[in-house]
Every structure is written in structure tokens, then in C-alpha cells.
Amino acid sequence: MSYEVLETRYSILTRLMGFLVFMIKDDTDYSRMESKMLSWVCCRASLMVKGIVTLEMRILGIETSCDETAAAVVEGGTRILSNIVASQVEIHARYGGIVPEVASRQHLLSAIPILQRALAEAGADFKDIAAIAVTNGPGLAGSLLVGVNLAKSLALACDLPLIGVNHLEGHIYANWIEEEGKNGLPEFPLLCLIVSGGHTDLVLMEGHGHYRQLGRTRDDAAGEAFDKVARILGLGYPGGPVIEQAAKGAQSPYRLPRAWLKGSDDFSFSGLKTAVFQMARDLGITGESATSSQMVVEIAAGFQEAVVDVLVAKTVGAARRCNVKQILLAGGVAANDELRQAMIRRSSLPVLIPSPILCTDNAAMIAACGYFRLKKGKTSGWDMDVNPGLRLVEITQVQSSGVQS
């Protein structure tokens, strides 16, 4: 076990007391190792007093699963020391969506500079890092490969533990990160709604690493629906932010259908997307001509309302039924202010949502998740591969519990 892992188990006080007892009991000379350890502890203690270092493990997180190249250093699983994200949005916007080949090449160009910035901003170098956490799925294979190879090389060269992190699990752990104005830490059992570009999952979380999937989308993910509808309406890419912005100008949003899938915790958004397509076609709106007409604004607002309505109603209903303590939101769509406000308004339970910047892809969430995995002694081997289709419940123990469902 590394010294860093030990650090979390015992407080510095215990160690100093141990050494004190040792010194009193034993008046012979210390071996070289013992005196080295003593000086290390004293040095750390004095730095702690000065507030320069704490005894919390620092994890370097790396995220390249899609179109953001990101690196971050997070201390104790909750405190961000640095969080650097290089977005490729402008590059992919030209094509109206992500081009996988372009994304992986861009990661290759950005990865090292982003890593260097993350370390510099954290005031850390590799001797201050306890482990390297990296997203190994789900995502685009070529993009994931860049991050995983980088993490493996660093872990090997610096003799550090390597931790493969599920991207969706990372999104959930953004909720553990300390932020100003945050009302408390997550408390188990909790219900998490993960809404991203590729996933819409309702997950019951009964402890660190214990997930039970209650529902998922049967077709398009919520973020995917935002992106496709934005394209239909000629609003550009990425769809979520542009639809949210356009909807602000609505006076009388069009009413669009909701797929409730009664009796199930699953979601479906492709019918809604088709309804938007048909409405746009009937109104003579085409991608090129749409621009900023009021009809587009009313459709965008109606679409957003429908998505938010279904996500909130189903999440609140499942939370009540499962008797959880809290609701957590995670993933890029959780940056949507209408969704955030509606969830808080309509839930009688506390709702935790990371700030928008931590909802979209970043490496701080990967580092935070890595910390909790490392604390449980869960590291990855050199045979860790990327898994573009990795699912949350496959990498973790699915456990039934006393939670009512």
C-alpha cells in the first residue's frame, strides 16, 4: 500500500503520537528508514500548520471520452486544485456534430499542454499525486484511447496507481465536489438522474460504487434529443445551450407530446423529436431558413418544456417510491437552468446539482470518483482497455438493499 493511501487511514496526530511513544520507549539510534519517516512526518506537519499541504490524497484526473480534453487535480475527492478543459466545440460545430476522427486527433494535440496546465495551476508535480484516474468508457473509442494511453504511460513512469473510471460514474461524483453555496454533501440512499449526450439513466445509489439502474432511455438520450432538435430548427451545435437560449424569448411555447411510459422508469425522446420535425416541416421551417423566427423560439421552448416535464416527473416519482434521502442531477443536460429549477421546485426532497461547469464533461469529476475508488483499494491493471459501451452497473456491484422499491 502506498504512503498516500496510508495517509487517509491515520491522522497525522496518531502518527506523531506513535513516534513519540517509540522515542520514549527506545533510546537506541533510529535506523535510516525510521529517521527518514520521522523527518517526513515532521516536515508534513509543519507544512500543514502553515496550511501549505494537507494530508488528503491528490488525484490527477484525465478525461477524453468525447470532444473535451480535460485534466484536473482534486484533493480529498472534494476540493478542486485545478480543472482545465479544452473544448473542441468550435471545430465540430462546422460539421453540425462530433466527428470522431477529428476528436481523437484534437485530443492528441491538446492532451499534454492541458495536463501541464492542470499540474501547474494546482502547484503540483507527480510526487504530490497519489494516483491517476482516467475515463476508460463509455465514449468514442479513438478519443478514449488517447486519455487511457496517456494515463497508463504516466502511471508507469511515475510508479503511481492507475484507476479506470466510468464516465457516467464520474458525472455522478461531480456532486461530491465542494462548491460555494452548495447545500450539503450527498447522502445515501439517493436517486441520481444522469442526463448527457449519450445517456439518460435513473440510478439508485446505495453507497459508494453501489448502483441499481431503475430506468434508461429506450431511444435517444436527452442531450442527443436537444442536439437533433437544434439541428432541425437550424439553431446550431451543441443543441442544449442554443435551445435553452432560444427558449428564453418564448411567449407562448407550442405544446408538444410527452412519452410517459407509465409503469416504467424508462424514458423515450424520439417521438418528441419526430413531433418537432413534423411541426417544423408543416410550418415551413427548414434548417437553413429557420434562423431566429418566433416560431422556432416557440417550438424550442415547447420542446424544452416537454423534456424537462418528463425528466422531473419521473425522477420525483421514483425518488418518492424508493424512499431515498436526496435527488442528484448529473451530466451535461443538468446544466439546463429550466431543468435545475423545475427539479428543485417539484421535489420535496433535497436536490443536489453541480454548477453548470461541472455538469458538462470535465476531469475534476473523474479525479473525484477516482479518489473514492482508490480509498476502497480499487485500482486497474495494465491490461485496462477502453470500452466505448461501458455501462455503469457492469463495473460495479449491483446490490439489492433494504431500500424500498
Answer yes or no whether residue 380 interacts with Zn ion by CB under 5 A: no
Which member of 196, 217, 268, 336 binds Zn ion (CB under 5 A)?
Answer: 196
Could you tell me which stretch among 20-28, 220-228, 274-282, 377-385 binds ligand KG4 (CB under 6 A)? 220-228
Per-residue CA distances from 318 to 38, 272, 308, 345 (Å): 53, 22, 15, 16
Where residue 297 falls (left for φ over 0; alpha for ψ -120 to 50; beta otherwise) is alpha
Smallest distance from Zn ion to CB 85, Å: 11
The residues, any chain, with a CB within 8 Å of residue 105's CB and separated by 6 or more, are: none
Smallest distance from Zn ion to CB 230, Å: 18
Answer yes or no whether residue 305 interacts with ligand KG4 by CB under 6 A: no
Answer yes or no whether residue 196 interacts with ligand KG4 by CB under 6 A: yes
Smallest distance from ligand KG4 to CB 66, Å: 5
Binding at 318: pick from ligand KG4, Zn ion, none (beta carbon under 5-8 Å per type): none
Per-residue CA distances from 10 to 55, 264, 268 (Å): 10, 46, 48
Answer yes or no whether residue 240 interacts with ligand KG4 by CB under 6 A: yes
Answer yes or no whether residue 244 interacts with ligand KG4 by CB under 6 A: yes
Nearest-angstrom CA–CA distance, 168 and 107: 20
Cis bond upstream, residue 189 (ω within 30): yes
Q: Could you say which DSSP state residue 265 is in?
A: S
Q: Which CB sits closer to ligand KG4, 201 or 244? A: 244
Q: Could you say which DSSP state residue 82 is in?
A: E
Binding at 227: pick from Zn ion, ligand KG4, none (beta carbon under 5-8 Å per type): ligand KG4
Which member of 147, 170, 234, 241 binds ligand KG4 (CB under 6 A)?
Answer: 241
Answer yes or no whether residue 206 interacts with Zn ion by CB under 5 A: no
Query: Taking Cα atoms as reference points, which of 212, 131, 136 lies closest to residue 170?
Result: 136
Write the burial class of residue 335 (CB in 10 Å: 0-12 exposed, 13-18 middle, 19+ buried): buried
Which member of 221, 306, 361, 368 binds Zn ion (CB under 5 A)?
Answer: 361
Which member of 66, 246, 311, 328 binds ligand KG4 (CB under 6 A)?
Answer: 66
Write the burial class of residue 46 (CB in 10 Å: 0-12 exposed, 13-18 middle, 19+ buried): exposed
Q: Which CB sits closer to Zn ion, 174 or 276? A: 174
Answer yes or no whether residue 103 interacts with ligand KG4 by CB under 6 A: no
Write out the three cell numbers for 126.
Answer: 507527480
Answer yes or no whether residue 161 interacts with ligand KG4 by CB under 6 A: no
Cis bond upstream, residue 113 (ω within 30): no
Could you tell me which stretch among 24-32, 56-64, 287-295, 330-338 binds ligand KG4 (CB under 6 A)? 330-338
Helix (H) or strand (E) holding 202: strand 200-207
- List interacting residues with Zn ion (CB under 5 A): 196, 361
- List interacting residues with ligand KG4 (CB under 6 A): 66, 196-198, 223, 226-227, 238-241, 244, 331-333, 335-336, 360-361
